[in-house]
Structure 1
Amino acid sequence: MTYPATTDLCDANEDRIATGALRVLAPGWRSFGGLKGFAGPAVTLKAFEDNTQVRTILGEPGEGRVLVVDGGGSMRCAMVGGNLGVLAAKNGWAGVLVNGCVRDTRELAACEVGIYALATHPQKSVKANGGQRDIAVQFPGGVVRPGDWVYADEDGVLVSDISLG
């Protein structure tokens, strides 16, 4: 799938940035998946150091959507690893955006899905079946709501209230 470059979207939508309809998330995202860029409508999840719901959601048909995981920016464990990367690719997810850490980076790099996160951590998360799905999540730089469009590439991550093509 092709996706527009985030730089081009910013240049063409300065008015939407000014109104907050297009949000530029704070820098610092790193690409870990086999695809270096992706775009799609957001499915949101807020889950702190517990990836049980991440697995559940990625087990569903992705239909080109992006799973946006608000892990609270935790640097104490990974929310996505190699098995979940394989699951996301197999089920047709365009991407996974994690406000937190991932692990199994060699495995993630072999998956045909975009995966962006803040850092890596070798320890897995707990399994307590916690989390809230389909709610607005606050990321550094802006809020992400269910159905918002997420655009990610090597230059950054954007969130729009509508598809920008």
Structure 2
Amino acid sequence: MEQTKLEAEGSPDRLTSPPPGPNYTLEERIGAHRVWLFPPDLVELQIRGDLSAPEMARLGSIFRRLSGELPWMLLSVDITHLGDLPASTRRTAAHQGHLALFAGCVMWGGSFMQRVLATMVWNAVRLLGQSHPMPPVTVVSTQAEAHAFLDTQRARRQA
């Protein structure tokens, strides 16, 4: 039996970030990708491989549902295993406007080039979806840096 690239790297069930533990209240799978909700305000997304337009639309549905339940949301995205983000995926993100639901976003992991690509894509989506103002994205190397950024965002909100 031939292995897919992700299976060769490790099972899609194997997380690059630590297992969520008992603190999450929701876990959704969209293909190889996962979304967790960590109350009161954190949505964590792990992208594994290519992200298609239908998968982006499904993420949008999840994000919209969560925005109806939470007064304020932050997004943390693990891009360690980020694959391709085709133009159709970027258009879907821009036109649906679901990324505008977040008060802040941090992306972490991945190579330098993956982080550059993720920043460029986010900024392109921001420009394409101007009717849905999106927060700027912060891109860092590690999950610890991502959590520090999120703590800063929460502190600013409290001030």
**TM-score, with length taken from structure 1:** 0.39
The structure with the largest strand share of the pair is 1
Q: Which structure has the bigger radius of gyration? A: 2
The structure with the largest helix share of the pair is 2
**TM-score, with length taken from structure 2:** 0.40
